[in-house]
A = this chain, B = another copy of it.
Amino acid sequence: MTTGVRRRMGVEERRQQLIGVALELFSNRSPDDVSIDEIAAAAGISRPLVYHYFPGKLSLYEAALQRAADDLAERFMEPHEGPLGARLLRVTGRFLGFVDEHGPGFSALMRGGPAVGSSSSPTTNALIDSVRQAAYEQILAHLGVTDPPARLDLVVRSWVSLAESTALIWLDGRRIPRAELERQLVHDFAALAAVSAAYDDEMARLLGTVLADEPADGPFADLLARLAALAPRAALPS
């Protein structure tokens, strides 16, 4: 038993605790609606003590954002084993889990940033860009490509952006089951790559290599089979 004696936290420990409390609050409501008083109360310390660790709400917000970005970058990590479609599905699932947990804060940030400090500050913009870049690099690494041609670069970057906007649109009402959204995003990647491959030999070869390793019960093969089933309904040139 500690008999009510409160252990004194070290400086770094207190900072980390405050960041955790702030991230929780900034995630679940629009960051503009969260006050320093509230953060102090949730952390069980006084308002002046919060200012002792962070000069203002903006610096605390940026620290919380940094932790969220680190968390997200970690969720992108996936062993280079097994079919690509299944790997992308797992990572996409973890990304949507993150979005689900941090909904209101994620929306506020991505929709031009909350008005905390100077909204989309160079710091928050750089942080968002670093997460996009991490996602981009992970995908290229899984594809085994180090120097992507322009069309692959576009497919990967535009899909990362699509995943972001799809998540944002989904958060506004959550009218589609999350599991369906995960699968759909993976298919969207395959579809964007296929469109690119339809006009470019280099992309066609790359897509062929990827698809050759996909199992018949994987998400990519599943999509192709479903699209093939759709096709007869369309006016295909005979």
Residues of A85-117 at the interface with B, using a CB-CB cut-off of 8 Å, are 111-113
**Chain B residues near A213 (CB-CB < 8 A):** 235
**Chain B residues near A199 (CB-CB < 8 A):** 180, 183-184, 226
Distance in angstroms from A46 CB to nearest chain B CB is 31
Docked Cα-Cα span, A112 to B153, in Å, equals 22
Interface flag for A150 (CB, 8 Å): yes
Docked Cα-Cα span, A198 to B188, in Å, equals 11
A224 touches B234 (CB 8 A): yes
B195 touches A166 (CB 8 A): no
**Chain B residues near A211 (CB-CB < 8 A):** 233-235
Interface flag for A157 (CB, 8 Å): yes
Interface flag for A194 (CB, 8 Å): yes
Interface flag for A169 (CB, 8 Å): yes
Number of interface residues of A (CB under 8 A): 61
Distance in angstroms from A19 CB to nearest chain B CB is 23
Docked Cα-Cα span, A228 to B125, in Å, equals 41
Docked Cα-Cα span, A3 to B119, in Å, equals 52
Copy number in the complex reads: 2
**Chain B residues near A141 (CB-CB < 8 A):** none
Interface flag for A145 (CB, 8 Å): no
Docked Cα-Cα span, A207 to B166, in Å, equals 20
Interface flag for A138 (CB, 8 Å): no
Most-contacted residue by chain B among A207, A223, A230 (CB, 10 A): A230
Distance in angstroms from A78 CB to nearest chain B CB is 22
**Given A211-B233, A231-B224, A234-B207, are A169 and B157 neighbors across the interface (CB < 8 Å)?**
yes
Interface string of A206-238 (1 = CB under 8 A from B): 011001111011001101111110110111111
In the A-B complex, the 5 residue pairs with the smallest Cβ-Cβ separation, listed nearest first, are: A161-B165, A211-B234, A191-B191, A150-B175, A198-B226
The residues of A with any CB-CB pair to B shorter than 8 Å are 111-113, 118-120, 125, 128, 150-151, 153-154, 157-158, 161-162, 165-166, 169-170, 173, 175-176, 180, 183-184, 187-188, 191-192, 194-199, 204, 207-208, 211-214, 216-217, 220-221, 223-228, 230-231, 233-238
